[in-house]
């Protein structure tokens, strides 16, 4: 696994992937979008502010004191998740503001590895004295080979175990041993030691309850189901570091991040002694805070004391407490249980501190009664190393698997929130078109602010769910279009891709419009994107199917016929009021790393200096996870035409029982928003595709028009009916 949490973020619009057996479309895309330059040395153009350069020299001073010849910096935090301002260690010494990055510092050199998407921005932003490598570039080198070339035999290379995944740590150990290089754990990160001023604190946003009507299950029931899954693998202890899993497990949310409604935390579930430990930033104050409109406080919701300490039965001499489900017993040393004492599950709440958490993991893991300890693939080395190897289970955790398939209440909430968002966008786009026809000047930057503000008036709205991708004309070609002051023009493509958070669900919707007369190229690309989207939406599949199976050649065929390719997954999972992208599944046949233009981890661990090939440990690919009923996915074919325009069509959908001769699954749509008729060439459609679109438009009219009538919005109704009129499909 990379230093970047696998949980993230597949949502991000991705740079190029050179896939095995690539077609001419794939190669053309690579030529267009992967930077030609592979290595850039920043010798001049130093920042006017010497702060970052001074910090870099301070790190080198510490390296000298600790007898380190090189120091590896993974651009992550202790949860190996999304970065907060507090976590921008690499930025603090280099100026690199991206997320996909890994660095090495020696006593006289500094190097950064990033991907094709952020390579140019790294060149622009990074301070002088750094060499920047684009991973996969023809003249690039891997991190381990660079270390070999810039050190001598017997050198010492350090890294912080708290900020390195256990998988990466194992790979570094194996390869550096082959290179005769010492790999040294540095438990106090060197940047933390020198970055003590002007550093943002850890976020401490208000925690709130995910209501039972939306969660569908109490946190106690989720804990019990988790413990049952642990028992199936003989696991007595579960270590959780993924924020999405912890938030889901306890039915709690917060706003420690701009888009994901999560809070910084750790968790340990010890089924052997019945202790459930939750680690929170500013725990004492948060325990006393209210978490819903009734005045309920967090400590009450978690059935703990005001200081976060549970009260448990006291056992007599020569006995010890044992927990099974909701029952505590005082267990004799010879394992003969005494009378059970009924107990409601309780949570010990402790202060978030990685060092304390590490000690607690060690204590729980080394209990002689504990058989197995379960951690996720995104667990850091600092925590995993406390677990005896014979006890370690490294796999997707029970909460990750359990939350993947949404329950009835979660699905109902997602349906309702996405329908509300569809109604809102119908109203908004109808008004937008009217303003364009009236000759109003519309600026994309202003539209983004306007949409966010208006969405706040919708029921249960809780802010945006991801980065806004809004643009007009050539700006839309980019994988990361910046929100600019561009004016929306009649004949250019207007791209909208903005999801939203609602208390009952998370939305992710994209549409494209032309307010004037489109050209044939625009119509051809748009129609083939729509055909691709319909191809996936129509899929039926048997139990045991994976996301790689679904993203088959026939799905993308309409685009490949004209030499067009989008180098990323066609569908990612969505949470129920959570991250816009979550695991453990993905609909993708891209065989290379989604994060860049080379296979995963190659730019770090490919060892050409090694005498023999090295086996590099890898995390499971999300596209190999078996799909289940109740999973929610995006469906988002895209086009990035360099020098032309960009397009994306994105719906969300969930897996349900299909209608087949034998048991099967199918997709049910969640987004009900019509397409742009001026961009559709119906003569390209197959009969099946036409039938699907007619049925879809029928559902839109059935579900959306009553909502618009309730709002007395005749403009939106007329706009919608103009687009759902399917007579053009008969031409």
φ, ψ of residue 357 to 5 degrees: the values are -60, -40
Domain stops at, among 355, 370, 404: 404
Residue 5 lies in a domain: no
Instruction: Give the position of tokens 């009021």.
Output: 577
Residue 225 lies in a domain: yes
φ, ψ of residue 317 to 5 degrees: the values are -60, 145
How far, in Å, CA of 48 to CA of 51, rounded? 9
Assess whether 422 and 382 both reside in one domain: no
Domain containing 68 equals 35-194
Beta bridge partners of 540: 666
Question: What per-residue confidence (pLDDT) applies to 555?
Answer: 97
Residue 501 lies in a domain: yes
Contact predicate 494/513, CB 8 Å: yes
The answer to whether the Cα torsion of 314, 316, 322, 326 is positive or negative is negative
Domain stops at, among 377, 404, 431: 404
Assess whether 235 and 372 both reside in one domain: yes
- At residue 43, the 3 state secondary structure works out as coil
Indicate the angle between helix axes 444-455 and 408-437, nearest 10 degrees. 140
Assess whether 424 and 453 both reside in one domain: yes
Instruction: Give the position of tokens 């690309």.
Output: 525
The residues, ordered by sequence, that sit 6+ positions from 409 with a Cβ below 8 Å of its Cβ are: 212, 213, 214, 215, 216, 217
Note the pLDDT tens digit of each residue in 191-238.
999 999 999 999 999 999 999 999 999 999 999 999 999 999 999 999
The CA radius of gyration of the chain, in Å to the nearest whole number, is 27
Assess whether 660 and 555 both reside in one domain: yes
Assess whether 125 and 237 both reside in one domain: no
How far, in Å, CA of 243 to CA of 221, rounded? 19
Instruction: Give the position of tokens 């007369």.
Output: 517
Assess whether 305 and 380 both reside in one domain: yes
Assess whether 241 and 373 both reside in one domain: yes
Question: What per-residue confidence (pLDDT) applies to 338?
Answer: 47
Assess whether 237 and 167 both reside in one domain: no
CATH code for the domain in which residue 471 is found? 3.90.230.10
Question: What per-residue confidence (pLDDT) applies to 340?
Answer: 44
Assess whether 79 and 95 both reside in one domain: yes
Residue 99 lies in a domain: yes
Assess whether 650 and 525 both reside in one domain: yes
β strands within 300-456, DSSP E: 319-324, 327-332, 337-342, 347-351, 372-375, 392-394
The verdict on pTM exceeding 0.75 is yes
β strands within 135-211, DSSP E: 156-159, 182-185, 208-209
Assess whether 165 and 243 both reside in one domain: no
The answer to whether the Cα torsion of 540, 545, 546, 552 is positive or negative is negative
Phi-psi region of 119 (alpha: psi -120 to 50; beta: other; left: phi over 0): alpha
Spatial CA neighbour of 321 closest among 337, 306, 308, 334 = 337
DSSP type of residue 647: E
Domain count, the chain: 3
Beta bridge partners of 469: 497
Which residues of the chain register pLDDT less than 70?
1-36, 117, 312-344, 475-482, 591-601, 731
How far, in Å, CA of 353 to CA of 434, rounded? 54
Domain stops at, among 383, 404, 425: 404
Question: What per-residue confidence (pLDDT) applies to 30?
Answer: 46
Tokens of 101: 């990055």
Which string of b and e fits 676-700 if b means at least 16 CB within 10 Å? beebbbeeebeeebeebbeebbeeb
Assess whether 419 and 490 both reside in one domain: yes
Spatial CA neighbour of 134 closest among 177, 82, 93, 98 = 98
State the alpha helices, DSSP H only, in 240-375: 243-250, 283-288, 298-301, 354-365
Residue 325 lies in a domain: no
């Amino acid at each position: 696994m990379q230093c970047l949490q696998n949980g993230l973020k597949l949502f991000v619009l991705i740079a190029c992937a050179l896939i095995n057996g690539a077609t001419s479309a794939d190669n053309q895309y690579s030529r267009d979008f992967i930077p030609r330059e592979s290595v850039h040395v920043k010798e001049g153009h130093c920042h006017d502010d010497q702060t970052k350069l001074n910090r870099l020299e301070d790190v080198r001073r510490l390296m000298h004191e600790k007898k380190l010849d090189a120091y590896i910096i993974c651009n992550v935090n202790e949860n190996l998740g999304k970065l907060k301002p507090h976590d921008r260690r690499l930025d603090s010494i280099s100026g690199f503001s991206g997320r996909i990055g890994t660095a090495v510092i020696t006593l006289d050199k500094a190097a950064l590895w990033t991907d094709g998407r952020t390579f140019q921005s790294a060149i622009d932003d990074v301070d002088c004295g750094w060499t920047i490598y684009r991973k996969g570039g023809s003249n690039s080198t891997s991190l381990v080979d660079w270390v070999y070339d810039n050190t001598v035999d017997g050198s010492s290379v350090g890294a912080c175990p708290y900020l390195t995944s256990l998988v990466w740590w194992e790979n570094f150990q194996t390869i550096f041993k082959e290179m005769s290089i010492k790999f040294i754990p540095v438990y106090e990160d060197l940047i933390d030691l020198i970055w003590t001023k002007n550093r943002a604190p850890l976020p401490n946003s208000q925690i709130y309850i995910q209501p039972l009507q939306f969660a569908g299950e109490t946190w106690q029931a989720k804990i019990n189901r988790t413990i049952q899954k642990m028992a199936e693998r003989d696991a007595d202890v579960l270590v959780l570091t993924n924020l999405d899993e912890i938030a889901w497990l306890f039915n709690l949310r917060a706003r420690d991040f701009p888009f994901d409604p999560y809070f910084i935390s750790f968790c340990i579930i010890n089924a052997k002694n019945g202790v459930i430990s939750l680690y929170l930033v500013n725990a004492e104050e948060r325990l006393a805070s209210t978490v819903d409109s009734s005045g309920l406080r967090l400590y009450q919701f978690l059935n703990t004391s005001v200081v976060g300490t549970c009260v448990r039965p006291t056992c007599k001499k020569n006995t010890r407490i044992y927990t099974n489900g909701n029952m505590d017993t005082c267990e004799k040393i010879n394992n003969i249980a005494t009378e059970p004492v009924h107990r409601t599950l309780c949570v010990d709440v402790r202060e978030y501190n990685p060092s304390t958490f590490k000690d607690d993991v060690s204590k729980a893991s080394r209990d002689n009664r504990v058989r197995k300890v379960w951690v996720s693939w995104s667990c850091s080395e600092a925590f995993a190393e406390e677990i005896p190897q014979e006890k370690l289970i490294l796999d997707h955790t029970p909460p990750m698997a359990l939350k993947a398939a949404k329950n009835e209440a979660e699905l109902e909430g997602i349906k309702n929130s996405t329908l509300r968002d569809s109604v809102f966008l119908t109203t908004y786009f109808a008004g937008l078109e009217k303003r364009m026809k009236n000759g109003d000047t519309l600026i994309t930057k202003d539209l983004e602010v306007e949409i966010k503000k208006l969405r706040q008036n919708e029921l249960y709205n809780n802010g945006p769910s991801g980065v806004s991708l809004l643009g007009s004309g050539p700006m839309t070609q980019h994988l990361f279009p910046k929100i600019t002051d561009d004016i929306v023009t009649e004949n250019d493509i207007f791209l909208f891709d903005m999801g939203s958070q609602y208390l009952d669900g998370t939305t992710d919707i994209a549409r494209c419009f032309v307010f004037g007369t489109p050209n044939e190229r625009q119509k051809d690309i748009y129609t083939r994107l729509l055909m691709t989207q319909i191809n996936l939406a129509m899929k039926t599949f048997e139990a045991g199917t994976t996301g790689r199976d679904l993203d088959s050649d026939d799905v993308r065929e309409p685009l490949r016929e004209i030499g067009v390719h989008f180098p990323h997954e066609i569908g990612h999972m969505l949470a129920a009021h959570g991250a816009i992208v979550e695991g453990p599944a993905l609909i993708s046949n891209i065989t290379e790393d989604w994060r860049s233009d080379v296979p995963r981890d190659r730019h770090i661990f490919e060892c050409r200096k090694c005498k023999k090939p090295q086996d590099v440990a890898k995390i499971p690919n999300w596209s190999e996870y078996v799909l289940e009923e109740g999973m929610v996915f995006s469906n988002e074919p895209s086009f990035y035409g360099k020098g032309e325009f960009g397009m994306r069509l994105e719906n969300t959908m969930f897996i349900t029982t299909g209608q087949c001769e034998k048991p099967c699954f199918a997709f049910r749509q969640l987004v009900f928003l019509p397409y742009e008729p001026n961009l559709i060439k119906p003569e390209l459609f197959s009969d099946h595709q036409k039938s699907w679109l007619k049925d879809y438009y029928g559902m839109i009219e059935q579900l959306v028009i009553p909502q618009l009538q309730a709002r007395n919005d005749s403009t939106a109704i007329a706009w919608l009916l103009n687009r759902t009129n399917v007579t053009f499909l008969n031409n």
